[in-house]
Amino acid sequence: MRDLVPLARITRAHGVRGDVKVLALPGGGDTFDGITAIWLGDDNRRGHRRYRIEKWRRQGKFILLKLRGIEDRSAAAALAGEFVWVRRRELPPRAAGAWSPLDFMGLRVSTEEGEELGEVTAFLETGGHGVLTVSGNEREYLVPLHADFVVRRTRNEVIMRLPPGLLDMNA
C-alpha cells in the first residue's frame, strides 16, 4: 500500500450513531471531497483496514466522518487515535508548483550528491516551516521542508540540496 498517505487522525467518537471526529494532519487539508474510501491504521503502513465513507461534514477545525460498518458510539470510540490514510491519487489537485507535506510522505530522499538518506516517514509542524522525518540505513534525519532545499520531486523520490553540516547535526 505504498500509494497511501496519512491525511488525518481520528480524535474520538461523535454522537451515538458511529460518527468519528477527525483532525487533519499538517498539510492534510480540510476536505474529503472526491474521497470515497479511507484506510485506518498506525503510521508504519501495516495492517490497514479499508472503510467506505458514507458522508462527511466540517465542524469547526474538525471533520465528522460516517464510515460504513461503524454503527454505534462504542465502535467509533474504538477507532480513536487511528491515522486516516488515503490514496495519493485521490488527494485534491494542487496549483502548479505548489506542494503539501503530504506530497512527500513515503518518498525516497537523496541529496544532490547522490547520497540516499531513506524514506519520508513523518512530518513535523514547526513555527517557520515543516520538518520531514527521513528514516533509512538505521538512521533518522530531520530535514527542513523548504523550497530552497527541494531540487526535484518525482513520483517516487525527492532530491534535496541540504546546507553543509545539516546531516552531521542529525548524527
Among 74-78, 88-92, 101-105, 134-138, name the most confident range: 74-78
In a domain, 116, yes or no: yes
Q: Which of 89, 124, 155 is where one domain is finished? A: 89
As for how many domains the chain has, the answer is 2
Higher per-residue confidence, 106 vs 44? 106
- Residue 79 sits in the same domain as residue 116: no
pLDDT at 109: 94
Q: Pairing between strand 37-41 and 49-59? A: antiparallel
Query: Side by side, which strands form the sheet with 139-145?
Result: 139-145, 130-136, 116-124, 108-111, 157-160, 150-153
Tell me the residue range of the domain where 65 lies: 4-89
This prediction's pTM: 0.65
